[in-house]
Structure 1
Amino acid sequence: MEGLNPSDLVERLGSDEDPVRKMAAFKLQSSIGDPSFADIFISEGGLGKLRYLTLVTTGNTLAYSLTSFARLLEVDKGWEYVDEELVERIVYLIVTHPLVNILRGAMSMLVSIVSHPHNPSRLSEAGIHGFRALKPAIAKYPQFLEMLVSRLSSADHALCANALQLINSLMRDSIANDEESEWPKFIKRLQDLGVIRAVYILMQGSALQDHAHPLIEFQSLTKLLLRKWKNVAVELEKPDHRRALKGIHIASNPEMARESATADDDLRKSRRHNPEKWRRLGFYSESPAGEFYEMGFLGMMDLTDFVRKHQDEFQKMLLEQSARPAEQRCPIARASLAITSVLYEHFEVERSATDDAKNYLLLDSRSNFDKVFKPLLLHWSRIHVASLHAFFRLWKATSAEIADFDKIVELLRILVESVVGGAPRTKDVQDVEEELSAFEYQRLRELQMELLELTYEDAWGQHLRQVRDELHHEALQFVKEQRIRCLLQGAWFPNETSTKVDGPNFAKPDSKRSQAYKYVQLSHNRRYLHFGDFDSAKESVPSLDTLPNKIDLSIVSSVVSNVSASSDDSSGSTIKTLPQQASSFTKITIHGYAPSSPSGAPTMTPGHNRTGSRSTQREIALLVLRPQTHSIASEWLDGLLMILNQQPITSETSKLVNLISNYGLKIRLLNVRFDDAAFAGEPPKIPSRDGLDEDYYYDLFGGA
């Protein structure tokens, strides 16, 4: 506003020369947004001249005048010169004018007019505000809304944002102030003109920064509409509600149902009254209006939309279901209402009003766009239909019955959270529909179990982790005892076929080198490892007294093996990647410290001198074992490690420990009531034991 004289500017706006007026209007754009300047400008009589320029000029003079007037309205001044003539002029410009700079200013003015608050003033009484201020002009130029929606695909981002902002203002004012029967017609007209598809493309586009605020407002308005429809109670006294229900009934082809009746039925009675007119469609009772209580007219809209767009499939399903026992029929209507509820919760429709401010703050960072924008919400109807198809598929795949209805709904909820909730902003709705239809039931069950574990984790947190740690320790001790008992039981191991002996400490006469097998067994006091060589593996195991050699475990320094070294499996497995000829390659070597005796040979029995320093002792191979199977390799390698108070390293032992600890956790959780945690809904009924005898078993490793 530096050096700009309001009086001089007003005088120039009234000039007869267009270049003078154009320059004055151009300078006015940058200053009129200052309330103090605006007050002086109005007091000098500038407002009347600005209105005149808006009504009669063209080109850049008109563009600058519109922008100036729009900025004046934004500071809540100049309303006394806003009348039907001015509004009609602006609507006319939007419908007929091709210049972007004129359209921007015109749309900005209409946004201010439509959004102008309803104050108890003369202007409010005159109705020059809100959507109704535009209705006379729109009646004169009915192509206005079509042109407005077409601007959403404009290459000019500012014009596109202005158009969407104006659409938002019209929608919000219509929802808030129109009669109950009027605003749905306006919303439907916008949808028929393609506003949903246009906004969906913008929301998935790369120019979100320029459109962010009007887009998030449109998304909030979409949730507002869903809430509004949900809060409309279904009443048969209302003609449109009655027509919707009648349309659902007619689409079900009731004549076909009568024709499929058996010969024993009274067909005449069937023609007069079908006792299952509505239950046949999947309602609880013959009074369907009451079943829309939770989801209101929104639930009826979703069901009607499915029936209308997939009438042939609807009729075919009803015919198929009629051939099944009543308890096995899929309740289509109830499924539709349940899915509406699932989607309503998934998109957090009720929370939108309180989240608006937070969403606007998140828009400051481009990295938050995927968190804020949910373009799939705009395709509510398509997602509902795709989810309903998925429900039918799950019902068939699980051979569900009516008693399983809530379980299928819960599976469907997980499916929606996984597919719809996990879809990135740019993922097309058709790809989401295909993924919903192709999602495998087994994978869905796995997700359900993971979510159940997370639910328990959230409910008990630290206590559950403590239980897991205790059970893991108990399982480790249990497996340790099992592995050591394998050593106590003893086992046969093949010797090398070459002339190489087990180690320098076990040099044998040549006559012994051809002996093919070695028998090894842990002593009962678990202090010594006894072994001996034999020509063959005998069915009857030798007694400890007959085994000529033994190793004092207190002198064992380490147990090494190629069992773990030979594995390259990414999961950390130490056995399963060994070659099939495991007996030829698997090798367990027991090393120990033994001081040299006067004869130069080490002593392996407790009689040796243990007073020598370990630094002066030599580490030698005391014994070499060659397990013939992976299981034996795991038992003996980990058994030797664990008896030496070291951690097991093979995958078989780790799996066994985890299996036992997990089953222990599940068994403990069976003793916890379902409602001890923060679960939604009612807890399940405790099953009855009537008719249960003792003729059952449970396979720990294979399931029930």
Structure 2
Amino acid sequence: MDEITDLISRLSNDEDAVKKMAVFRLQSSIGDPSFAEVFIAQGGLAQLRNLALYSNGNTLAYALTSFSRLLELDKGWDYVTPELISRVVELIVTHPLVNILRGAMSILVAIVSHPHTSNTSRGSYNGPFGFRALKPAIAMHPQFLEMLVNRLSSADHALCANSLQLINSLMRNAITNDSDNEWPKFIKRLQDLGVIKAVFVLMQSSALQDLAHPLLEFQALTKVLLRRWREIKVDLETKEHRAALKGLHLLSLPDPKQESKSLGSQRRAPNPEKWRRLGFRTESPAWEFGEVGFLGMMDLTDFVRKNEDGFRKVVMEENAKPVEQRCPIANASLAITSILYHQFEVDKSDLDDPKIYQVLESRTNYDRAFKPLLLQWSRLHTAALLTFFRLWRDTKAESEDFDKVAELVRVMVYHTVGRSPRTRDVQEVEDEMLNMDLSHLRNLQMDILEQSYENAWGSHLGNVREDLKAEAMQFVKEQRIRCLLQGAWFPNPGNNKSISSKLDLRNVPWRYVKLSHNRRFLHYCDYDAETPYEPKLEELPEKLDLSSVSSVVSNVVPASVVSDHSSGTLTPTGSKLASTKITIHGYASSAGLKGNEIVLLTLHPQTHSTASEWLDGLLMLLGQQPITSETSKLINMVTTYGLKIRLLNVRYTDNYYNSPPEIPSREDVDEDYYYSLFV
């Protein structure tokens, strides 16, 4: 007790060194609630406020820090006077020392945030709180907000954090406690001063560890703003909304200035397609903003104002087409707004998610928490809308295809925006959007679709895939066996000659091999050269009973050893014989299983395709599994496409396994009728 009394007396000492040492000790002790109560009870607050008002240098810095820590304990509000607020605002605008600026900003954060964070009594102080408390002081120092935004580029991370925290407090207070609906003007003022650009740079910097919490709060407040704008309904009775729509109409005309003059001089007959020509579905445009509200209006008008000539050109081009082929410009813009809204999960508040704070504990997880591209909403909207126009043109879409094109754009936004790392430049994202190939988008769409069904159905989809793989295996088996039924020519250098790629094919005999119709025998015949026609089965005197075959071996690359040479021609230019060989082993007769295994037939395929067809065809004919990479790829391709075709016909939200659909009636159908879920 005596120690606190002595400390308070030293705060009013005439010697500056004594006061500085006392307030230096005070800043480390005032954060203790019990110490703070005794300090206030003994009248120390008056001395502390005087130091904040009239001292300088380090003494002032320590006093501001002490006062801010006292306010954090929700104490000392009786001494928060307009004089003190004016002094603190003045310091932020005029003072260069970082340690003084930190304490000053902390005091303003406490004042602005007090209605938002405090549940206790304010004591006897009944003055204004929140942003209203700062208005008189800011009016005397109009450069306050500009200086505050400029502090975000300071090399001192703690000062950056304090500045951003104060900006956050001002934004939150303006949004939640503004009864006069002046918050849009305040937000626009901050944006005009460059706060978006400054915070975007900080989010992509390496200083996140020191700024993580205020940056996350700014990101959350950005979502709050987007939600507020979306919740505002477009109403033609509102002057601002009516003016925005009128501006869209005027900027769409070939000569808007001339049109404006004519509107003032004489009354024209109303255009029956005044709004539909801009891409609205009806002549009641306000109604069509229902899903995205004033946010959609802002995005559309922002695009038009920044791309006046381009917008006018698109309107003229689309209106020259038949009605069903026109790209609905306005509705495309609204669709993009909705896509971005859901991509960034604007309805989800980051500050309410406890997992976010766990993520912030590790620098490696920052990409999961911070989405700096959210701050580039307008640029992303413009790039996505221009891509919509391009896709509409490239796909030759018509009115009924609107949702399909919008879905392609949604996939593109997910791929380019949703999967971009935190440090990626927005210009790169825009370029990727504007240059993304349609075929690449289609592939991405199918991949995402399959993943969506995988997540929705899990093991059920795995069972479907296994069934499809079995069907694909049967399909490929039949295709391979049909290759054997068709027959093929093979070089036949003879058993006594070594197989060499240097051997000229024009100097070797040929063998023609063909599978019998009953699939039980391989018929073949040796020729001196290839004949100009395919020999018939009855022209092949030699035959091999497949029941006598014990094994088929080859040096063809198996599926487990895929290389760059797994397809294409095995023979080099000049028709030189390749070394690839298929050897059929077995016994002299189907009944003679007691003898030794011998080579029954040798084939020398000229291409990998032929080798794959005949090797796997023989194996599958004998009831064995295929082994070549080409056959494996073909089976996977058939399985994948079969699955995608089925997925396109069933919504992934349909849960048929827990609640099966009603079985159709068999009335008036024959015995061949069947019902399949996926067909």
**Preserved CA contact (<8 Å) 2:450 2:647:** no
Number of the residue aligned with 1:700: none
Aligned match of 2:557 in 553, 558, 564?
564
Greater shift, 539-548 or 12-21, is seen at 539-548
**Preserved CA contact (<8 Å) 1:483 1:636:** yes
**Preserved CA contact (<8 Å) 1:529 1:553:** no
- Over 3 Å counting, the alpha-carbon distance change for 1:386 and 1:123 in structure 2 is farther
Residue by residue over 1:153-209, the C-alpha shift from the partner in whole angstroms, topping out at 9 and shown as x without a partner, is 111110110010001001101111113531111111111111111111111111111
The structural deviation recorded for 1:526 is 5.9
- Over 3 Å counting, the alpha-carbon distance change for 1:498 and 1:106 in structure 2 is same
Task: Give the match's secondary structure for 1:624.
Answer: strand
Counting only pairs closer than 5 Å after superposition, residues 243-262 of structure 1 correspond to structure 2 as: 243-253=243-253
Counting only pairs closer than 5 Å after superposition, residues 236-635 of structure 1 correspond to structure 2 as: 236-253=236-253, 271-352=268-349, 355-484=352-481, 486-487=483-484, 491-496=488-493, 500=497, 516-520=509-513, 531-535=524-528, 541=535, 547=541, 550=544, 553-554=547-548, 556-561=550-555, 563-564=556-557, 570=563, 573=566, 579=572, 584-590=577-583, 592=585, 604-606=588-590, 608=592, 610-611=593-594, 621-635=599-613
Residue by residue over 1:397-422, the C-alpha shift from the partner in whole angstroms, topping out at 9 and shown as x without a partner, is 12222222111111111111111112
Identity of aligned residues (%): 60
Task: Give the match's secondary structure for 1:590.
Answer: strand
The structural deviation recorded for 1:581 is 6.2
Q: Tell me how far apart the structure 1 counterparts of residues 559 and 87 of structure 2 sit (CA, whole Å).
A: 85
**Preserved CA contact (<8 Å) 2:585 2:601:** no
Number of the residue aligned with 2:632: 654
2:638 is equivalent to residue 638 of structure 1: no
- Structure of greater Rg: 1
The structural deviation recorded for 1:281 is 1.4
The structural deviation recorded for 1:335 is 1.3
What letter is aligned with 2:415? S
The structural deviation recorded for 1:75 is 0.8
Task: Give the match's secondary structure for 1:272.
Answer: coil
The structural deviation recorded for 1:677 is 2.8
Q: Tell me how far apart the structure 2 counterparts of residues 574 and 180 of structure 1 sit (CA, whole Å).
A: 73
Greater shift, 56-65 or 639-648, is seen at 639-648
- Over 3 Å counting, the alpha-carbon distance change for 1:646 and 1:177 in structure 2 is same
The structural deviation recorded for 1:588 is 2.6
**Preserved CA contact (<8 Å) 2:299 2:378:** yes
Task: Give the match's secondary structure for 1:493.
Answer: strand
Greater shift, 580-589 or 86-95, is seen at 580-589
What letter is aligned with 1:145? L
Task: Give the match's secondary structure for 1:657.
Answer: helix
Q: Tell me how far apart the structure 2 counterparts of residues 26 and 258 of structure 1 sit (CA, whole Å).
A: 70
Number of the residue aligned with 1:161: 161
What letter is aligned with 2:553? V
**Preserved CA contact (<8 Å) 1:574 1:649:** no
**Preserved CA contact (<8 Å) 1:489 1:521:** yes
Residue by residue over 1:490-527, the C-alpha shift from the partner in whole angstroms, topping out at 9 and shown as x without a partner, is 5543321795399xxxxxxxxxxx99343445577766
Q: Tell me how far apart the structure 2 counterparts of residues 149 and 441 of structure 1 sit (CA, whole Å).
A: 42
Residue by residue over 1:296-346, the C-alpha shift from the partner in whole angstroms, topping out at 9 and shown as x without a partner, is 111111111112111121222222222222222222211111111111111
Counting only pairs closer than 5 Å after superposition, residues 62-101 of structure 1 correspond to structure 2 as: 62-101=60-99
The structural deviation recorded for 1:663 is 5.3
Task: Give the match's secondary structure for 2:29.
Answer: coil
Aligned match of 1:677 in 626, 633, 654?
654
Q: Tell me how far apart the structure 2 counterparts of residues 284 and 543 of structure 1 sit (CA, whole Å).
A: 68
- Over 3 Å counting, the alpha-carbon distance change for 1:43 and 1:272 in structure 2 is same
The structural deviation recorded for 1:458 is 3.1
The structural deviation recorded for 1:486 is 4.6
Task: Give the match's secondary structure for 2:469.
Answer: helix
**Preserved CA contact (<8 Å) 1:583 1:627:** no
The structural deviation recorded for 1:463 is 2.4
Number of the residue aligned with 1:46: 44
Q: Tell me how far apart the structure 2 counterparts of residues 677 and 325 of structure 1 sit (CA, whole Å).
A: 37
Greater shift, 312-321 or 11-20, is seen at 312-321
Q: Tell me how far apart the structure 1 counterparts of residues 565 and 71 of structure 2 sit (CA, whole Å).
A: 70
Task: Give the match's secondary structure for 1:559.
Answer: strand
Task: Give the match's secondary structure for 1:30.
Answer: helix
The structural deviation recorded for 1:18 is 0.7
Task: Calculate the TM-score normalised by the size of structure 2.
Answer: 0.86
The structural deviation recorded for 1:225 is 0.6
Q: Tell me how far apart the structure 2 counterparts of residues 674 and 390 of structure 1 sit (CA, whole Å).
A: 27
CA RMSD of aligned residues (A): 3.3
The structural deviation recorded for 1:605 is 2.6
The structural deviation recorded for 1:358 is 2.9
**Preserved CA contact (<8 Å) 1:389 1:437:** yes
Runs (5+) with no aligned partner, structure 2: 260-264, 500-506, 657-679
- Over 3 Å counting, the alpha-carbon distance change for 1:577 and 1:167 in structure 2 is farther
- Over 3 Å counting, the alpha-carbon distance change for 1:555 and 1:227 in structure 2 is closer
Q: Tell me how far apart the structure 1 counterparts of residues 288 and 559 of structure 2 sit (CA, whole Å).
A: 65
The structural deviation recorded for 1:567 is 12
**Preserved CA contact (<8 Å) 2:488 2:512:** yes
- Over 3 Å counting, the alpha-carbon distance change for 1:325 and 1:47 in structure 2 is same
Q: Tell me how far apart the structure 2 counterparts of residues 524 and 327 of structure 1 sit (CA, whole Å).
A: 55
Q: Tell me how far apart the structure 2 counterparts of residues 96 and 359 of structure 1 sit (CA, whole Å).
A: 37
What letter is aligned with 2:159? L
**Preserved CA contact (<8 Å) 1:22 1:60:** yes
- Over 3 Å counting, the alpha-carbon distance change for 1:578 and 1:91 in structure 2 is farther
Q: Tell me how far apart the structure 2 counterparts of residues 382 and 55 of structure 1 sit (CA, whole Å).
A: 46
What letter is aligned with 1:639? G
2:218 is equivalent to residue 218 of structure 1: yes
- Over 3 Å counting, the alpha-carbon distance change for 1:4 and 1:412 in structure 2 is farther
Task: Give the match's secondary structure for 1:205.
Answer: coil
**Preserved CA contact (<8 Å) 1:83 1:128:** no
**Preserved CA contact (<8 Å) 1:115 1:173:** yes
Q: Tell me how far apart the structure 1 counterparts of residues 561 and 121 of structure 2 sit (CA, whole Å).
A: 82
- Over 3 Å counting, the alpha-carbon distance change for 1:635 and 1:248 in structure 2 is closer
Task: Calculate the TM-score normalised by the size of structure 1.
Answer: 0.83
- Over 3 Å counting, the alpha-carbon distance change for 1:531 and 1:372 in structure 2 is same
Q: Tell me how far apart the structure 2 counterparts of residues 176 and 418 of structure 1 sit (CA, whole Å).
A: 35
**Preserved CA contact (<8 Å) 2:616 2:631:** yes
The structural deviation recorded for 1:569 is 5.7
What letter is aligned with 1:252? S
**Preserved CA contact (<8 Å) 1:281 1:331:** yes
Task: Give the match's secondary structure for 1:445.
Answer: helix
Q: Tell me how far apart the structure 1 counterparts of residues 438 and 542 of structure 2 sit (CA, whole Å).
A: 61
Q: Tell me how far apart the structure 1 counterparts of residues 508 and 521 of structure 2 sit (CA, whole Å).
A: 23
- Over 3 Å counting, the alpha-carbon distance change for 1:145 and 1:550 in structure 2 is closer
The structural deviation recorded for 1:249 is 2.0
Number of the residue aligned with 1:689: none
What letter is aligned with 1:645? G
